[in-house]
């Protein structure tokens, strides 16, 4: 938990020891409090060095303890005693000093950091503020503007930046603990009393400027927070630091953290923290798992198709230091793609202050033959099954037998592609999200033939690219797009019933979505879904002409997006979609009076009486329809855990992190309520079978609505699932 030793005769060395990240669980706090007391009262000890085991100082509070009844000593008195001591206390920071870990370091009189260390207050990402004096000490050390930026964003800084800001006193390349011990020996008796080193004794300069900075900060945070409380509360804590004496600031900090600690948002954000990490722990029905499956080495990757997705994937790979052979079929496309990729890499290098983008890793070619010695291919051609099948057949002939063949399809049958190859076990889906060099999510789609090695390789490659990989099963749309379809359906139906696109979007954005669904649709292009609906036979020559326009495959269907596509209203690219844009390619959506007229005419053509659609109905129908499909996905084993579904929505679809994800949100609302509301909406819309509560949801409610982590126990036939 924490070890005590003596070095150089007079120095007490306290080593935090709680693998893997030395989190400050109750037992650690107890031990460190006891041994710090021993060091501070031992007459032979003249200075203390505080460090962490295994190259990590401390990642802060043990997040697993939040939400549980408090136990063990608090951090604040320990930090006060340390800071008040007349013996110099030096923090030797290796690895990370985060949250409570940095708060302890700020209570030390000196801080020495290793060159590779990172420091910061990520509490805001957990729905909290730095609650053990961090919000009061940091601004006293580095000033209000810098502290405001770090605390409200949770951004971590490198040791070098920490030195520039004044958070640490020295950065070392060599042995941090030895340097800290030498440093401690040197400062014994030098700075007496240690008054100037005690941050609580300092007054942050509260100038008119600081007042303006706080005001601007509050406005910025409110605009970006999308309904999240913690960033706003961070600004309130900093205002206290700037305007109140330290002791009163600490009282305010305590009140503020107590307000947040049990909030539903903090729960959701902490759930997301672990969900993201658990997503890495995949398993297959064969018993193969993340920790018993060896990935293949990937040095060289082929990317086929240099459209929007292929370009983003290529940039991601090159940025991760991986050689790429990028193949296009047509010269003009190749040229456009090449210029776009080089431009993106150039801009990225400029942003990072690098003069040279890593273009030496790139080969552009019109010939598939050049893929002979790549370790893995990512196919990113058009969403056309026949084209993809032809390509996979050819790739089999061109690539070496051990090459993994991955498809970036956003919803087509991965298994249908595997069966045209002679290496079914080496075929998996790697579904990136646009723009692929920015978006974090990667769905790794595992077909019935995909080997553990192929899944492990795709997941490991995803991690190298900085993606959050989630293993999912193979079904139309996989997890993300399968649920998205029902979300979109509900949004179209709401328009039919009386809502306007901007009204639906506003409600969704107030809920916290990055962008309303109609803005998203305009951004990605309405033709994307149009093509999918054509391919799946919902529209086109195969539809019996006698089928009513608002009826397909036995259920209610909205032809609204098809009608817009027929008129050439494809979204941003055509200057008109659900919204109006100033020019084709314009980015600023404006409500479109022509759209309102179009909706009126549409409703009267089909005898639909418009009504006022309440905000709560928009949220309930969109989010509960998604969660209901999520329960079906769990039952079918397409996702292994509800957490995986939530990770997909948070990282790929702009779902507000502070609401956890659609499944966690359903749990927070209460499964019985969700069930009852779905029953209500299904009664009103019996022609929408997807609103009928799923059997798993019903069983969970009958079982007393267990917490999310226990849902899997209620899935039937688990042996056949992910
Ligand atoms: C950068 C990381 C540290 C490491 O990243 P990486 O190397 O990629 O590894 P990971 O896979 O992320 O993590 C490895 C495993 O470690 C687990 N982990 C990581 N951090 C924690 C943690 N802080 N607590 C518990 N577990 C943690 C992680 O889940 C992995 O596990 P597994 O292998 O998957 O099983 C990165 O992990 C990271 O960024 N971590 C989070 C850092 C963070 O957010 N820190 C801030 C925490 S909040 C805080 O410190 C607040 C402190 C003030 C006290 C607040 C007062 C109220 C509290 C009341 C309740 C408790 C009583 C306290 C009493 C008092 O003091 O007042």
User: Average pLDDT of 191-199?
Assistant: 82
Instruction: Answer with the residue of higher pLDDT: 73 or 357.
Output: 73
Asked if the model's pLDDT at residue 262 lies above 90, the reply is: yes
Cβ–ligand 1 distance for 577 under 6 Å, the answer: no
- pLDDT for 721 equals 65
Q: Structure tokens of 432?
A: 């990136």
Asked if the model's pLDDT at residue 205 lies above 70, the reply is: no
**Could you tell which of 60, 118, 123 is best to mutate to test the pocket of ligand 1, judged by most ligand atoms within 8 Å of the CB?**
60
Residue 527 CA to ligand 1 center (angstroms) comes to 44
Asked if the model's pLDDT at residue 108 lies above 80, the reply is: yes
| HEC string for 29-79 | HHHHHHHHHHHHHCCCCCEEEEEEHHHCCECCECHHHCCCCCCCCCHHHHH
Residue 674 CA to ligand 1 center (angstroms) comes to 32
Asked if the model's pLDDT at residue 204 lies above 80, the reply is: no
> 159 with 119: CB under 8 angstroms?
yes
Cβ–ligand 1 distance for 66 under 6 Å, the answer: yes
- pLDDT for 191 equals 65
Instruction: Kindly report the number of other CB atoms within 10 A of residue 19's CB atom.
Output: 9
Q: What percent of the chain has pLDDT over 90?
A: 89
User: Average pLDDT of 159-186?
Assistant: 97
Asked if the model's pLDDT at residue 442 lies above 80, the reply is: yes
- pLDDT for 190 equals 73
Residue 59 CA to ligand 1 center (angstroms) comes to 5
- pLDDT for 194 equals 82
**Per-residue confidence band for 211, with pLDDT thresholds at 50, 70 and 90:** confident
Residue 62 CA to ligand 1 center (angstroms) comes to 5
Residue 14 CA to ligand 1 center (angstroms) comes to 20
- pLDDT for 718 equals 63
The 10s digit of each residue's pLDDT in 479-516 is 999 999 999 999 999 999 999 999 999 999 999 999 99
**Per-residue confidence band for 355, with pLDDT thresholds at 50, 70 and 90:** confident
The 10s digit of each residue's pLDDT in 6-60 is 998 899 999 999 999 999 999 999 999 999 999 999 999 999 999 999 999 999 9
The 10s digit of each residue's pLDDT in 63-98 is 999 989 889 999 999 999 999 999 999 999 999 999
| Ligand 1 atom closest to the CA of 56, numbered from 1 | 3
Window from 20-24, 283-287, 316-320 with minimum mean pLDDT: 283-287
How far apart are alpha carbons 715 and 713 in whole angstroms? 6
**Could you tell which of 29, 63, 250 is best to mutate to test the pocket of ligand 1, judged by most ligand atoms within 8 Å of the CB?**
63
**Could you tell which of 59, 101, 237, 440 is best to mutate to test the pocket of ligand 1, judged by most ligand atoms within 8 Å of the CB?**
59
The 10s digit of each residue's pLDDT in 707-721 is 999 999 999 866 566
Complex ipTM more than 0.90, yes or no: yes
How far apart are alpha carbons 521 and 539 in whole angstroms? 19
Asked if the model's pLDDT at residue 353 lies above 90, the reply is: no
**Per-residue confidence band for 630, with pLDDT thresholds at 50, 70 and 90:** very high
How far apart are alpha carbons 165 and 144 in whole angstroms? 12
Q: What percent of the chain has pLDDT over 70?
A: 98
**Per-residue confidence band for 357, with pLDDT thresholds at 50, 70 and 90:** confident
Question: Which has the closest alpha carbon to 660: 282, 270, 281, 278?
Answer: 270
- pLDDT for 345 equals 95
How far apart are alpha carbons 467 and 316 in whole angstroms? 10
| HEC string for 586-610 | CCCCECCHHHHHHHHHHHHHCCCCC
Cβ–ligand 1 distance for 131 under 6 Å, the answer: yes
Mean pLDDT of the chain, nearest integer:
95
Asked if the model's pLDDT at residue 619 lies above 70, the reply is: yes
Cβ–ligand 1 distance for 97 under 6 Å, the answer: no
Asked if the model's pLDDT at residue 114 lies above 70, the reply is: yes
Window from 161-170, 402-411, 531-540, 594-603 with minimum mean pLDDT: 531-540
Q: Where are the alpha helices (DSSP H) in 42-124?
A: 75-84, 100-107
């Amino acid at each position: 938990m924490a070890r005590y030793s003596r070095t150089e005769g007079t120095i007490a060395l306290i080593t935090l020891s709680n693998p893997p990240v030395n989190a400050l669980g109750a037992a650690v706090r107890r031990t460190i409090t006891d041994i710090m007391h021993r060091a501070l009262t031992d007459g032979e000890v003249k200075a203390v060095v505080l460090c962490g085991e295994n190259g990590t100082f401390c990642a802060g509070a043990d997040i697993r303890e939040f939400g549980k009844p408090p136990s063990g000593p608090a951090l604040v008195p320990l930090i006060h005693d340390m800071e008040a001591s007349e013996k110099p206390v030096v923090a030797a920071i290796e690895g990370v000093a985060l949250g409570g870990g940095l708060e302890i370091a700020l209570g030390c009189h000196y801080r020495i950091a290793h060159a590779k260390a990172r420091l910061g207050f990520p509490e805001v990402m957990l729905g909290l503020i730095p609650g053990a004096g961090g919000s009061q000490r940091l601004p006293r050390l580095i000033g209000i503007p810098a502290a405001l930026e770090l605390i409200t964003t949770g951004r971590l800084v490198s040791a070098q930046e920490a030195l520039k800001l004044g958070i640490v006193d020295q950065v070392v390349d060599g042995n941090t603990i030895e340097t800290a011990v030498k440093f401690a020996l040197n400062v014994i008796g030098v700075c007496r009393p240690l008054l100037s080193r005690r941050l609580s004794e300092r007054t942050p300069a509260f100038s008119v400027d600081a007042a303006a900075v706080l005001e601007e900060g509050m406005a910025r945070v409110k605009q970006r927070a999308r309904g999240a409380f913690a960033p706003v509360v961070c600004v309130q804590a900093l205002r206290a630091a700037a305007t109140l004496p330290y002791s009163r600031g600490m009282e305010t900090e305590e009140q503020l953290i107590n307000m947040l600690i049990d909030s539903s948002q903090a729960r959701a954000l902490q759930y997301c923290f672990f969900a993201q990490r658990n997503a890495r722990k995949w398993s297959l029905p064969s018993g193969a798992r993340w920790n018993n499956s060896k990935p293949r080495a990937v040095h060289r990757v082929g990317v086929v198709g240099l459209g929007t997705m292929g370009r983003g994937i290529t940039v991601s790979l090159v940025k991760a230091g991986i050689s790429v052979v990028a193949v296009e079929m047509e010269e003009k496309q190749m040229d456009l793609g090449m210029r776009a990729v080089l431009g993106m890499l150039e801009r990225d290098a400029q942003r990072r202050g690098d003069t040279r983008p890593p273009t030496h890793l790139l080969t552009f070619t019109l010939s598939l033959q050049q893929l002979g010695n790549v370790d893995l291919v990512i196919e990113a051609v058009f969403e056309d099954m026949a084209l993809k099948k032809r390509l996979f057949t050819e790739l089999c002939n061109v690539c070496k037998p051990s090459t993994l063949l991955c498809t970036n399809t956003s919803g087509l049958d991965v298994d249908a592609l595997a069966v045209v190859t002679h290496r079914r076990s080496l075929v998996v889906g790697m579904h990136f999200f646009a723009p692929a060099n920015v978006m974090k999510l990667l769905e790794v789609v595992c077909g019935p033939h995909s080997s553990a090695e192929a899944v492990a390789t795709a997941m490991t490659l995803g991690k190298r690219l900085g993606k959050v990989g989630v293993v999912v099963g193979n079904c139309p749309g996989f997890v993300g797009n399968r649920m998205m379809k029902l979300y979109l359906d509900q949004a179209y139906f709401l328009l039919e019933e009386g809502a306007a696109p901007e009204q639906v979007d506003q409600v969704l954005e107030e809920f916290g979505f990055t962008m309303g669904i109609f803005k998203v649709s305009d951004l990605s292009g309405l033709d994307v879904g149009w093509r999918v609906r054509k391919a799946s036979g919902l529209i086109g020559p195969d539809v019996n002409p006698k089928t009513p326009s608002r009826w397909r495959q036995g259920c209610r269907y909205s032809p609204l997006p098809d009608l817009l596509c027929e008129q050439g209203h494809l979204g941003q690219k055509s200057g008109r979609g659900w919204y109006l844009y100033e020019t084709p390619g314009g980015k600023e959506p404006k409500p479109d009076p022509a759209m309102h007229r179009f909706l009126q005419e549409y409703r009267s053509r089909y005898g639909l009486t418009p009504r006022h659609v309440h905000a709560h109905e928009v949220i309930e129908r969109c989010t509960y329809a998604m969660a209901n499909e999520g329960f079906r996905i769990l039952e079918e084993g397409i996702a292994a855990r509800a957490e995986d579904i939530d990770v997909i929505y948070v990282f790929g679809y702009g779902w507000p992190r502070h609401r956890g994800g659609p499944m966690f949100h359903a749990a927070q609302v209460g499964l019985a309520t969700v069930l009852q509301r779905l029953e209500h909406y299904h009664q009103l819309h019996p022609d929408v079978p997807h609103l009928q509560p799923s059997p798993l949801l019903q069983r969970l409610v009958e079982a007393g609505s267990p917490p999310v982590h226990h849902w899997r126990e209620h899935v039937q036939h688990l042996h056949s699932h992910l």
